[in-house]
Amino acid sequence: MMPMFRIIVGLFATMLVSAAITPLVRRLAFVLGAVDKPNARRVNKKAMPSMGGLAIFIAFNVGTFILLRGQFPTHELFSIFLAECIIIITGMIDDIKELSPKEKMLGILIAALVIYFLAGVRMNILTIPLVGTFKLGWLSFPITIFWILAITNAVNLIDGLDGLATGVSIIALFTMGVIAYFFLSITNVSVSIMIFCLGAALIGFLPHNFHPAKIFLGDTGALFIGFMIAVLSLKGLKNVTFITLLIPVIILGVPITDTVYAMLRRILNRKPISQADKHHLHHRLMQLGLSHRQTVLVIYGLALVFSLISLLYPLSTLWGSLVLTIAVLIGLELFVESIGLVGENRQPLLHLLKRLLKPKDEEKD
């Protein structure tokens, strides 16, 4: 085990590598034609270089293979690296040529298969409170693959404003790292170090990506970050309990909420689930009058709230966790309805509360 001081130095160096290499990736994006041009769906007013995730990918692997060498199992590290390369290539092709949703999903699926079969990162056991512990058996495969596909796409969907996905992911990663290191009793500390290493690479990239951005994450970055968050969270979920399953879901509350309600919105409006629209969380906040930067900061705040709530789970009893989860779901539904994320006319819980709180004399009138 490397001394803590050397780990901190390695993480700081990873951050500097990311910050230094991003301008070079920006130039490469222009050369390769990975440029986001303004259109009806995009917020940017001028052509912006995409593919910024390549800088994060390079910095992260410089950190894991060189700066923090010897902290990670060799076979697993190379297997994860192979999966990362598949994701990065998929994202780069999409940023240059624009792939269809099915083609992108195929790239993520292939990378997920590498993680399952070569890296051996998967869910194996599920413990249900008051019921017992079960070996997942053949269910391990579909559950693991679904987890990776869902989290990867969730992070990809919130990448709509300068610095949004980057900042939310930094908050999520450092919360995951703290919980993994202090609360989940993971004997292999390398999981936490790898999480912090990815967070450090993102911090180095953020100054170039925050509004007004000089470079976008692109699908290269959004897919890579989402994929790695999914894989790293899985490494702590090999033996799943109710609490350990909830923690990463709560930590990733912002992208998961946006994804779930986007799907619900499209189903209710009888539109294809894969059809893009301008009614995501960040779009709604801007439509309510917030500026670009204010919207990003509000969502950062929301991500911090989810992270702080997730820190309560390891400290709570089973019943305390159940009450906390119910409170989170009710509060989240009220927030979603108040900003009209599903639709301004779809506010069942708010309408119910108004009826319950309505004075009796008004009801008679």
Write out the binding residues for Mg(2+): 156, 219
Residue 34 backbone dihedrals phi, psi, to 5 degrees: -85, 80
Dihedral sign for Cα atoms in the order 179, 111, 76, 88: negative
Prior bond of 38 cis (ω within 30°): no
Residues 6+ apart with CB under 8 A from 358: none
Of the candidates 143, 137, 179, 161, the residue with the CA atom closest to the CA atom of residue 307 = 179
Paired residues of 239 in beta bridges:
125
Coil vs helix vs strand at 133: strand
Q: How far apart are CA 341 and CA 337, in angstroms?
A: 6
Residues 6+ apart with CB under 8 A from 171: 300, 303, 304, 307
Residues 6+ apart with CB under 8 A from 213: 44, 48, 162, 163
Residues 6+ apart with CB under 8 A from 89: 107
Binding positions are 156, 219
Alpha helices in the chain (DSSP H): 4-32, 53-62, 74-97, 101-114, 140-157, 164-182, 190-209, 218-235, 242-251, 253-268, 281-287, 292-312, 318-339, 348-357, 360-364
